[in-house]
Amino acid sequence: MMTTPNRTKALNAYQRDAILSAPPARLLTMLFDRLLLDLARAETAQNAEDWETASENLLHAQDIISELSGSLKPELWDGADQLLGVYNYAGSTLLQANIQRDRLLTQECIALLEPLRLAWHEAAALPTGAIPAAQGGGYSS
């Protein structure tokens, strides 16, 4: 039987390989899943007044939003500029949620981003070629 450090190492390698081999639509849904997980964890930490944990999760959520913003390709999708506006708003709101320790701002971002997460999951489930998301969705691969 593997020891705990070896199991952790194996799990990390498996997760890394899953990310590296995932198609663009799957990567996008993975990012959104983690984004909403970070926000839920941040909200829980804010409610417990665990500001260090809240900050760590809010900062990671901001990193994900930055990655999503940076990977948009407006030349491939007409809606990219509007989506970039949503990402910019969410990023600045999360910054304020962290600085002001404001759980309502975190909740606002959850309410804003959860429908996008669901929409990307629905789009990723469609047959390849049925929608732009299946061809990159305005995101770089």
Per-residue pLDDT tens digits for 98-113 = 999 999 999 999 999 9
Q: How sure is the predictor about 41, in pLDDT bands with cuts at 50, 70 and 90? A: very high
pLDDT given for residue 133 in this prediction: 46
Residue 78's domain is classified under what CATH number? 1.20.120.340
In angstroms, what CA-CA distances link 51 with 40, 44, 62, 63, 139? Answer: 14, 10, 16, 18, 33
Res 134 pLDDT > 60: no
Examine residue 32 and state whether it is found in any structural domain, yes or no: yes
Examine residue 13 and state whether it is found in any structural domain, yes or no: no
Mean pLDDT of all residues in 123-140: 62
pTM of the entire structure?
Answer: 0.78
pLDDT given for residue 139 in this prediction: 56
Looking at the 3D structure of the chain, how many domains does it have?
Answer: 1
In angstroms, what CA-CA distances link 138 with 21, 79, 128, 131? Answer: 19, 8, 14, 11
Domain with 28 in it: 24-127
Examine residue 141 and state whether it is found in any structural domain, yes or no: no
Examine residue 4 and state whether it is found in any structural domain, yes or no: no
Res 46 pLDDT > 80: yes
